[in-house]
Amino acid sequence: MEIIDKLRPLLQTKFQRDLFEAALVSAHAVENPLRLNNFSTAFRELVRDVFDHLAPNEQIKRCSWYVPDPTSATGVTRAHRVSFVIHGGLAPEFTEEELHIDVQGEQKQLVKAGDAEFILMEALYSISAPGCGLDADGVHVISVDGTSFKRYLELAKLLGIKVAAIRDNDKDHAANCVANYLDHVSPSIQVFADPDNARHTFEVCMYQDNKTICHELFEPGRKTLSVEEYMLKNKTDAAFQLLETKGAALAAPGYIQRAVAWIRA
């Protein structure tokens, strides 16, 4: 495929090239019902490594625009890496005004490729467990679509992997988050969702638990959509702005706090 041939020469290290090939092997394993999820997991790890390679911690920390994030063990977050990839050590204002590069537009494109909600979850983990982090605790976050959710739980049960599954209640917590997983939960597998059916998605929960911050960020310029509606219609952009400007000040929804406490126990 043309896109594969274009990507291969861009990979900088043997690890990146090996991971890319492994992702392709997963994608072509048509007999494996989890092949697309395995591909996504491998490709997400590849994106993470590429960002780490393009934006090393020590270089980010020397930038004038760098402000350490207390929710990260190193002070550096994926939001910092995205900014460094776009404008390096230059101030974002200079980059936009003098070089005519749309910094925010580029940020949105990069975050869409890297899964904004996945990035925000890293900050919420550290907020829920101050002084701790995903990497330090050996916890991995995997984004799983609804059709494969139970397959992952079945696989985790077979392998003896401890799993805290976090999902939206989709307006019916009892049916979607309790009864739906009666055959899957165990001492090592638990499902976490907000029990209030009115708080039916991640974005609604984030808005309701962080109203002051959300209105400060998203209310200016709103004409027809409410702040909450804007966040629901612009999930990626809203998540990135929350992380980049207010990451350390956010409140994690209760069900995410419970999931973090349980997985760390």
Two tokens, residue 7: 């990507």
Residue 76 included in any domain: no
Residue 57 included in any domain: no
Residue 160 included in any domain: yes
**Mean model confidence pLDDT for the chain:** 86
Q: Is pLDDT of 255 > 80?
A: yes
Packing angle between helix 235-246 and helix 103-114, nearest 10 degrees? 110
Instruction: Identify residue 23 by its one-letter amino acid code.
Output: A
The whole-number pLDDT of residue 117 equals 63
Report pLDDT digits (tens) over 43-62: 878 888 898 999 999 999 99
What is the C-alpha separation between 84 and 68, in angstroms, rounded?
14
Write down the pTM of the prediction. 0.70
What is the C-alpha separation between 205 and 250, in angstroms, rounded?
12
Report pLDDT digits (tens) over 170-189: 999 999 999 999 999 999 99
The structural domain count of the chain equals: 1
Residue 184 included in any domain: yes
Report pLDDT digits (tens) over 132-148: 888 788 888 877 766 56
Residue-range definition of the domain harbouring residue 196: 131-265
